Chain A
Amino acid sequence: GESVGLHLPTLSVQEGDNSIINCAYSNSASDYFIWYKQESGKGPQFIIDIRSNMDKRQGQRVTVLLNKTVKHLSLQIAATQPGDSAVYFCAETQGYQKVTFGIGTKLQVIP
């Protein structure tokens, strides 16, 4: 499944499928990007980051893709599990300035 847009969309994915969460960032000068996962009633948890001199970075079951031309960031989750259900936020920053968070995407995993 895949989500697009600046609203707060809900992405429903079957357990075991791959998920793609998209984010359009605003500042072309941003040089560092982070994905956070927030479970209900908890604080955001760091997932993966990427610098602007890269276009892809892989972690365990997660991959972040960066397209600076169109100011687009995506988070791919392989073999989505029920524990992946949460709201996912992208965040951007320039240097050590304050971090700006995107609106977020709610991921629902269907068992």
Chain B
Amino acid sequence: DAGVIQSPRHEVTEMGQEVTLRCKPISGHDYLFWYRQTMMRGLELLIYFNNNVPIDDSGMPEDRFSAKMPNASFSTLKIQPSEPRDSAVYFCASSYRQGYEQYFGPGTRLTVT
């Protein structure tokens, strides 16, 4: 398996623009997680899905953030409108059992100017 795939790897956008981050989890994994990583706050769990259903989105910072998982092999994290404070590295991870090993993608480095 190719592991968790994320795209794009780097995204530079202007404040106010819509940003869409994409993730393909490992086949057979029922859990998908979106994280945000910054120097100040470390790894923050934004939202997670089980069998394509959002289970807990309490980590989503604002209504500007939304996530979807239309099928078992694809998820998106959307920020609309983007702000400079959204600049961070966003990771997608998947797992076949909740609470055990999570496999992380390479991340998307987002810069909002």
A associates with B: no
Q: Which residues of B contact A (CB under 8 A)?
A: none
